[in-house]
A and B are shown apart, each in its own frame.
Chain A
């Protein structure tokens, strides 16, 4: 397996997410659940992140966990944690290895260098929900921190990158029972203080400076990257039955 053949295709991610949703939905349908004001809800999510091209990361699978406390029927606050393990775009980190003596003839190999990185992002978010029967559209936004931990073996040591993150997005929740439901969401996951050059294990010590135009140019570096995150989640209210039974003021999922 080479880097060129390695990929987390969007199709594979969607398939995986759909299977997960069906499993969760099937499991939840038999569970009594309810949503109410002043209660917590937990949402486990699975999906993918399509990174900003300037991030030099390939699209990767994602796991997320949201915890939300409903302050009112339409608004809640909570936390959102996302973890992923993307691979870097090796073609953006081209280096050369030269053998021999320059005066009498040398041979240069062009090498792409990639690695897997561990990404964790956590945010405090505010959620606006607009219940409409079985379906509840929602929007959310918040901010937090992200950390990216590079492969210590390839980088010959511990290296990481971190910064402030931001989240803006929305989705649609579908109630399956009083306490359970599924939700689809899409978010813009923003990383600040992003330095894609740190993803180069060679430290740019041996760049290709001769045949520059013969290789795809790495994208222009940006300190702020916008990544498209999409997920399918299972939402569950672990608390007891809502006051008044049935579907109270917090009806909806």
Chain B
């Protein structure tokens, strides 16, 4: 009996030892570094835009007085192509293809910059360059700082021509002005995928008498031009997004972006500023991709193909009254850019601080013919990063 009691006591002791766990799970514990986020604001600054004036004599057409004055803003300097201005005879005989005539004229580019004068004060400085009798043009690259934003944001281009300069007879109609991007220096028709700016005379404001001529002025439309008005695609910026920074990773998530016009794509850049808030660098974070878990799918060709059926859907533009004929524009439902300071050295300052000085994030609309990796003028979204990202503490909290 005594042995049984001893046995029972030992068994109970072992059971008690096994059951009594001195350690107990704590409810929560931090897991890694914190994340800092902010919202992307729709900026839509410096998109390709401009106006066209159609001065013409009130009486009979004239080869010298019938003029076209195209004013262009928001153009980027191109790496492998040039801008060409066309007149489209969209009032041609029914059933006949539209006729494109390449215009030749005078190009004047006015570049405005801010410089520091002798007194140390900032002041505007203007540079003007003129090219006579040209049928294409480009913007000069910012050679002094090729990695920063191009000069497109600060350049106004003015293209002036008349019938005589462009070889148009008085019987040729000047109905629609089209600006395209051409790789072929001798192209006789505009590239079908680079017809991105246009203005129709019929859509211009009523004629105003200026200097003895009746002048109609219309705004250039940014998108994809087609002769058939119903098939045009007009780009209207929209969407929303957020930026997150955590440890060595930055993620830019966007949603509901309109499809970029043919020849354009969305890209993400970071702007670095110095201690006196001067912009010192723009850092290319990459073209947009599909979000996790399909980050390997690039949306750089979302202007023309459905790279990711999950991310791109058919959306009929709001300005279109009827059913949309294919190929229909596909909006980007969600997109993302993920970059790491481990792979982009410019995101780390000389002292090794990640994202130090990174003040803003831009989502831009870039031309495929521009230099990739250099911020263009067209910024669609922008976000000011939280101060703790731009000025990281000596010992970041974990």
Contacts and interface: CB of A to CB of B under 8 A. Distances in A.
Interface of A: 1-4, 6, 8, 16, 19-20, 23-24, 27-28, 30-31, 44, 46, 61-63, 83, 85, 87-88, 90-91, 94, 96, 98, 102-116, 154, 201, 210-215, 234, 236
B31 interface: yes
B170 interface: no
Contacts of B36: 105-108
- Complex A-B, nearest 8 residue pairs according to Cβ-Cβ distance, in ascending order: A105-B386, A20-B14, A108-B35, A87-B25, A114-B25, A110-B31, A27-B7, A111-B28
A209 to B, nearest CB: 9
B31 A102 contact: no
30 contacts: A1-B23, A6-B25, A23-B14, A24-B14, A27-B7, A31-B4, A61-B18, A63-B19, A88-B25, A90-B29, A102-B242, A103-B38, A105-B36, A105-B37, A106-B36, A106-B38, A107-B36, A107-B37, A107-B388, A108-B244, A108-B246, A110-B31, A110-B32, A110-B35, A111-B30, A114-B26, A210-B244, A211-B35, A213-B292, A215-B31
A234 B30 contact: no
A24 B25 contact: no
Contact of B34 (A16, A103, A108, A116): A108
B6 A154 contact: no
B25 A211 contact: no
Contacts of B15: 44, 46, 63
B42 interface: no
A215 B32 contact: yes
Given A16-B18, A27-B6, A210 B31 contact: no
Nearest to B244: A210
A32 B249 CA distance: 70
A90 B7 contact: no
Nearest to A214: B249
Contacts of B27: 113-115, 154, 201
B14 to A, nearest CB: 4
Contacts of B293: 212-213
A90 B386 CA distance: 30
Band of interface residues on B: 35 or more
Nearest to A154: B27
B156 to A, nearest CB: 34
Given A24-B14, A110-B31, 5 more contacts: A46-B15, A104-B38, A105-B37, A116-B24, A212-B293
A113 B387 CA distance: 29
Contacts of B246: 108, 210-211, 214
Contacts of B26: 1-3, 6, 114
B21 interface: yes
- Taking chain A's interface residues, is the majority helix, strand, or loop, or is none over half, making it mixed? mixed
Nearest to A1: B23
A27 B35 CA distance: 59
B208 interface: no
B251 interface: yes
Contacts of B351: none
Contacts of A212: 292-293
B17 A112 contact: no
Contacts of A116: 21, 24-25
A94 to B, nearest CB: 6
Contacts of B4: 31
A16 B17 contact: yes
B11 interface: yes
Contact of A3 (B10, B14, B25, B32): B25
B109 interface: no
A108 B7 CA distance: 56
A112 B29 CA distance: 5
Interface string B368-387: 00000000000000000111
B388 to A, nearest CB: 8
A186 B14 CA distance: 20
Nearest to B22: A1
A112 B31 CA distance: 6
Contacts of B292: 212-213
Nearest to A213: B292
A4 B398 CA distance: 15
A234 B11 contact: yes
Nearest to A105: B386
Nearest to A102: B39
B326 interface: no
A85 B3 contact: no
Contacts of B17: 16, 20
Contacts of B385: 105
A58 B11 CA distance: 25
Contacts of A108: 34-37, 244, 246
A203 to B, nearest CB: 14
B31 A211 contact: no
Contacts of B386: 105-107
